[in-house]
Amino acid sequence: MTNTAPKNTTIPTYNQYKDTGIPWLGKIPAHWEVVKMKWIFNEISIKNRPYEELLSVTQTKGVVPRKLVKNRMVMPSGNLESFKYIDKDNFAISLRSFEGGLEYSAYKGIISPAYTVLKLMKNRFTLHSNYYKFLLKSFSFISELQTSIVGIREGKNISYKELSYSMLPIPPKPEQTAIAGFLDRKTTQIDQAIAQK
């Protein structure tokens, strides 16, 4: 049962919590579920769509059209048939995810084949992509990514085969919506404050 705190100032606290026994998660509300990531996300690899818009995977803006990126990287040469298709509400694991988390896509298009594309599964869980957009960029989750790194050089890869066994919290859908809404408002306020500065 939640407290009735003002909607725009805080998120609710709960009467009961449980210890997950998972270092990066710690204690969570007692009624939340915890499941392996592989039961939430499917890895997908759809290619041969060279006509789709070319997207960039960025740490600050997520997956966005390349034309919106100020410091554009070199345009790929040759055909784009090997590039991977990513849809709206999918996520990308990039070569820098071990530093900044997984990137959310609000667009559909194609990205480099070096990236891993994840799609929320349709199953018994009711999932809200905006909730996962924040969870997969959180400092705590980024610490969990360190357990799935492959390689030792700059641009370390995240192995989804390893990461898929990581545990993720699933609140009820209304709470996912409330958490995402709260964080959307807070990040908007921060962005506005930075713009004014």
Give tens-digit pLDDT for 175-192. Answer: 999 999 999 888 877 767
Residue type, 155: G
Of the chain, the percentage scoring pLDDT greater than 70 comes to 86
Q: Residue 133's CB: how many other CB atoms inside 10 A?
A: 21
DSSP secondary structure, 87-131, as one string: -TT-EEE-TTHHHH-PEEBSS-EEE-TTSEEEEE--SSS---HHH
Higher per-residue confidence, 13 vs 66 = 66
Q: How confident is the model at residue 151 (pLDDT cuts 50, 70, 90)?
A: low
d(CA 8, CA 74): 42
Q: Residue 150's CB: how many other CB atoms inside 10 A?
A: 11
d(CA 57, CA 36): 25
Ordered by where they begin, the domains of the chain are: 17-196 (3.90.220.20)
DSSP secondary structure, 27-71, as one string: EEETT-EEEEGGGTEEEE-----TTSPBEEEETTTEEEEGGG-SS
| pTM as predicted | 0.83
Would you say residue 33 has pLDDT above 90?
yes
Would you say residue 28 has pLDDT above 50?
yes
Q: How confident is the model at residue 96 (pLDDT cuts 50, 70, 90)?
A: confident
